[in-house]
Amino acid sequence: MSGNKGLRKPEFKNSSQISLKPFYDSQDWTASDDAMAALGEPGRFPFARGVQDTMYRGRLWTMRQYAGFGSAKESNQRYKLLINQGTTGLSVAFDLPTQMGYDSDHIMSTGEVGKVGVAISSLEDMELLMDGLPLEKISTSMTINSTASILLAFYIAAAERRNIPANALKGTIQNDLLKEYVARGTYIFPPRPSLRIITDIFAYCSKNVPDWNTISISGYHIREAGSTAAQELAFTLANGMTYVSAALDAGLNINEFGKRLSFFFNCHNNFFEEIAKFRAARRLWAKLMKERFGATDPSAMKLRFHTQTAGSTLTAQQPENNIVRVGLQALAAVLGGTQSLHTNSMDEALGLPTEKAATIALRTQQIIAHESGVADVIDPLAGSFYIESLTNELEARALQYIERIDSLGGVVSCIESGWIQNEIQSAAYQYQKDVDSKKEIVVGVNDFIQDFEPPFPLKISEEMVRDQLTRLASYKKSRNQKELQSQLEQVRSAAKGDQNLMPLIVNAVKVGATLGEISDVLRSVFGQYRESVKF
- The three state secondary structure string of 130-185 is CCCCCCCCCEEEEECCCCHHHHHHHHHHHHHHCCCCHHHCEEEECCCCHHHHHHHC
Say if domain 33-436 classifies as CATH 3.10.129.10: no
ω into 298 cis (within 30 of 0): no
Strands 215-218 and 212-213: unpaired
- Which pLDDT score is estimated for 220? 96
Q: What is the pLDDT of residues 91-111, one digit of tens each?
A: 899 999 999 999 999 999 999
Cα gap 174→147, rounded to integer Å: 10
- Which pLDDT score is estimated for 11? 76
Cα gap 50→303, rounded to integer Å: 9
Cα gap 77→88, rounded to integer Å: 16
Q: What is the pLDDT of residues 225-267, one digit of tens each?
A: 999 999 999 999 999 999 999 999 999 999 999 999 999 999 9
- Under the banding of pLDDT at 50, 70 and 90, the label for residue 321 is very high
Q: How many CB atoms lie within 10 A of CB 464?
A: 17
Q: What is the pLDDT of residues 247-256, one digit of tens each?
A: 999 999 999 9
Domain ranges of the chain: 33-436
- Which pLDDT score is estimated for 2? 58
CA distances from 243 to 166, 278, 285, 293 (A): 24, 20, 13, 12
- Under the banding of pLDDT at 50, 70 and 90, the label for residue 533 is low
Of residues 180 and 31, more confidence is placed in 180
Cα gap 499→525, rounded to integer Å: 14
Q: What is the pLDDT of residues 172-186, one digit of tens each?
A: 999 999 999 999 899
**Averaged pLDDT, 407-422:** 95
**Averaged pLDDT, 62-79:** 90
| Assessment of whether the complete model's pTM goes beyond 0.85 | yes
Nearest to 494 by CA among 103, 245, 206, 196: 196
- Which pLDDT score is estimated for 27? 86
**Averaged pLDDT, 514-533:** 92
- Which pLDDT score is estimated for 12? 87
Report whether pLDDT(535) > 80: no
Angle of the 515-526 helix axis to the 481-496 helix axis, nearest 10: 30
**Any residues with CB less than 8 A from the CB of 312 and at least 6 apart, and which?**
223, 224, 226
Q: Chain-wide mean pLDDT for the chain?
A: 94
3-state DSSP call for residue 325? helix
- Helix or strand run (H / E) with residue 143: strand 139-143
**Averaged pLDDT, 18-40:** 86
**Averaged pLDDT, 499-503:** 97
- Which pLDDT score is estimated for 89? 83
Cα gap 416→222, rounded to integer Å: 16
**Averaged pLDDT, 149-165:** 97
Report whether pLDDT(121) > 70: yes
Alpha carbon 289 to its chain centroid, in Å, reads: 21
Q: Are 386 and 273 in contact (CB under 8 A)?
A: no
Report whether pLDDT(379) > 60: yes
Report whether pLDDT(534) > 60: no
Q: What is the pLDDT of residues 445-486, one digit of tens each?
A: 999 999 877 776 667 788 999 999 999 999 999 999 999 999
Radius of gyration of the chain (CA): 23
- Which pLDDT score is estimated for 26? 87
Report whether pLDDT(417) > 70: yes
Q: What is the pLDDT of residues 325-350, one digit of tens each?
A: 999 999 999 999 999 999 999 999 98
Cα gap 377→379, rounded to integer Å: 6
